[in-house]
Structure 1
Amino acid sequence: MRKELHIRLERLSAWFGFVLLVGMLATFAVGNLLRPMSPTNTPEQIVDFLTDNQTRILLCVALMVLFIPFEYPFVIVTSLQIRRIEGGWGMLSMIQLTTGVVAPIGFFFPLAILAAAAYRPEIHSPDLLSAMSDTFWLMYVGNACIFVLQVWSIGLAALVDRGPKPVFPRWFGHLNIVLGILLIPGAFVFLNKTGPLAWNGLLANVIPSMAYLVWKIATPIVLLRAVKSEEAELAETSEAQLASA
């Protein structure tokens, strides 16, 4: 592949991070899902929510199906930049790649379950719909801690980079380490129905969501700068080869 095309694809993949951010916020707003329902809601309240928001939820899931694939190029360009730090495929780039592949599944599977609940709520019992709604929120919030290794691999790569022109700034490394720590409380939503560790709680949902929002803005910016520095390195290498020829 021509170097120019390689850089263009990487730059486009980095921009997909913004596409994902806007798409996720818009689709969850459409589905009326930005604010989680309470884990203490009764089955009747859950049925009312699914019935009142049926079209919105199904449209949300349909849109997410269209947006989710953009996560893959975004994950790949991140690993390719970590690969520059490691000098080839290594532990950190591979951990980021493999855990990043799971990321879209962590969004789509819970949403598919909620869509199944909203698809025909009139034919299911309130208890079944309540269980499906619980499954959605437990998976969506609780599974977030799975991505701790992903963001920590990015953070560690930024912190261990000792090159003359680091691929990622050090503050970005610290941001990823902090985000990983903030995602850990999500694991405890399975044990709590109320309080800060419930799926709508401060520690399990609100703070991690805000941190993730910051990360989702910062990461594409950092990746675009990294791709620009890679482009400059390739240009310098080409010039050196021409000079020595």
Structure 2
Amino acid sequence: MMTERQQRVCIWGGITFAPLFFVGFWLLAGFIPPPAPGMSAEAVARMFAEHRGRIRAGLWVATAAAPFLAFFVAALTHQIRRIAGSDSPLATAQLIAGSCLILEFIFPQLVWQTAAYRAERSPETVQMLNDLAWLPYVGVVGTAMVQMAIIAIVVFSDRRPQPLLPRWSAYLNIWTALGVAPGSFVVFVHGGPVAWNGILAWWLLCVSFFIWMVTMTWLMLRASRRAERSATDVSAVAAASGQAVPSEASR
């Protein structure tokens, strides 16, 4: 059984992803804002050639950051099981979707690493690899949307007088799911608001995902502290009455 200390380690471990990712992807690789999808093959190849060292270093950091999301996904799964039960299929579905999300960060970043690996590649090959990375990186949003939808469903189903997660967090998950949805349209355009560097497909997606991660981190930490206080109170009462302390599953 996951203790509250382990739970908080997972929560903080998960949010560690965010600063590491931005250092690697933004400050080092320089991929924020993203290069325009309408760039010519020569311009894309020149970008990778001129910034080869920083791109490789930045993507190395961003790729190293991605596994920290596993802690975040584990913490979310634990909270869902607390609400819906340890055998909840929704908890398992969220765990699987979250695991896919981690790979959706890692594999496109390795494709960019491949584009920067050999300086002698033809411009057309570099452009193809760049497309092969950006399109799924921004365009595969279904897994995150599934996670958010599951959390919303579970929160709405919590009928206890004092729910583990507040009801407004369900609406937040719905809105953030809608916020990342425009990314799915990147495969159709080379410019505009739903291109991979567009205001909807990229900027709204990034803001929505960041708000979701930060808010869920805070809510899970609060839920963990509350559960710890409740367990302490139960233990104190049980000790005073000489009864056995009930497990979390039985409460």
Q: Give TM-score scaled by structure 2 length.
A: 0.91
Q: 1:217 aligns with which of 206, 214, 217?
A: 214
Residue segments in structure 2 that go unaligned for 5+ positions in a row: 244-251
CA–CA distance in structure 2, aligned partners of residues 149 and 62 of structure 1: 28
Q: Report the equivalent of 2:98.
A: 100
Q: How many aligned positions are there?
A: 241
Q: Report the equivalent of 1:163.
A: 160
CA–CA distance in structure 1, aligned partners of residues 137 and 34 of structure 2: 10
Q: Report the equivalent of 2:131.
A: 134
Q: Aligned partner of 2:207: which letter?
A: M
CA–CA distance in structure 2, aligned partners of residues 67 and 228 of structure 1: 26
Q: Aligned-pair distance for 1:65?
A: 3.1
CA–CA distance in structure 2, aligned partners of residues 146 and 216 of structure 1: 14
Q: Report the equivalent of 2:65.
A: 67
Tell whether the 8 Å contact from 1:17 to 1:219 is kept in structure 2 after alignment. no
Does residue 186 in structure 1 map to residue 158 in structure 2?
no
CA–CA distance in structure 2, aligned partners of residues 87 and 233 of structure 1: 18
Q: Which has the higher helix share?
A: 1
Q: Aligned-pair distance for 1:66?
A: 2.4
Divergent runs of 4+, >6 A: none
RMSD across aligned positions (CA): 1.6
What's the CA shift string for 1:138-171, capped at 9, x where partnerless?
A: 0110012332101111122222211122111122
CA–CA distance in structure 1, aligned partners of residues 22 and 213 of structure 2: 11
Q: Aligned-pair distance for 1:46?
A: 0.1
CA–CA distance in structure 2, aligned partners of residues 172 and 60 of structure 1: 33
Q: Aligned partner of 2:107: which letter?
A: F
Q: Report the equivalent of 1:206.
A: 203
Identical-residue share of aligned pairs (%): 29
**Bigger relative CO (Cα 8 Å, ≥ 6 apart):** 1
Tell whether the 8 Å contact from 2:15 to 2:69 is kept in structure 1 after alignment. no
Q: Secondary structure at the match of 2:110?
A: helix
Within 5 Å, which residues of 2 pair with 1:20-31?
A: 20-29=17-26, 30-31=28-29
Q: Give TM-score scaled by structure 1 length.
A: 0.93
Tell whether the 8 Å contact from 1:137 to 1:199 is kept in structure 2 after alignment. yes
